[in-house]
Amino acid sequence: MPLYLDEIWLQWRSAEEFDAALQRFLPMGDGNQFGYPEGVRVEAGPWFSNEEGKIVLVLDIADHTKTFQAFGMAIGFGVVQKRRLQPIVPWSEVKQLSASVSKARAG
C-alpha cells in the first residue's frame, strides 16, 4: 500500500472563482463520489488548511502516474495552482535505515 501525502493548492482570482473552486472540490469529503483516477483511494482527509488555500489528503496510490492527466488538466485550466505529492514510508523502514547506517559506519 504506497501512501502519499497529497497537498493541492487551489487557485482563484475573485470571490466567484473561490466559490467555484470550493464547489468543485467539496465532493472529496463524500467518500468515493469524487472522480479519483483508477487505483487511488483516500486513506485520510480531506482537510482544508486555514492558513493557505490548499487541500491535504493521505492517498493510497497504486501508480501515481495515473494522477498526471487529472492534475495536469486542473493546473492547465487554472483550478489548481500546484501540487506536492510526498511518499510516506512506515516507521519500520526508518528503523531499517538506521540499522543500515550504523552498520555502514561501523565497518
What's the CA gap between 30 and 28, in Å, rounded?
6
What's the CA gap between 45 and 40, in Å, rounded?
13
Phi then psi dihedrals of residue 8, to 5 deg? -125, 110
pLDDT tens digits, residue range 2-37? Answer: 899 999 999 989 999 989 988 888 888 776 568 888
Total-model pTM:
0.82
Spell 51-79 as b/e; 16+ CB within 10 A means b: eeebbbbbbebeebeebeeebeebeeeeb
Rg of the chain taking only CA atoms, in angstroms? 17
**Average pLDDT value for residue range 79-97:** 93
**Which domains are delineated in the chain?**
3-106 (3.30.70)
Residue closest to 69 by CA, chosen among 24, 95, 92, 35: 35
Please check whether residue 66 is in contact with residue 2, taking contact to mean a CB–CB distance below 8 angstroms: no
> What pLDDT band is residue 38 in, cutting at 50, 70 and 90?
confident
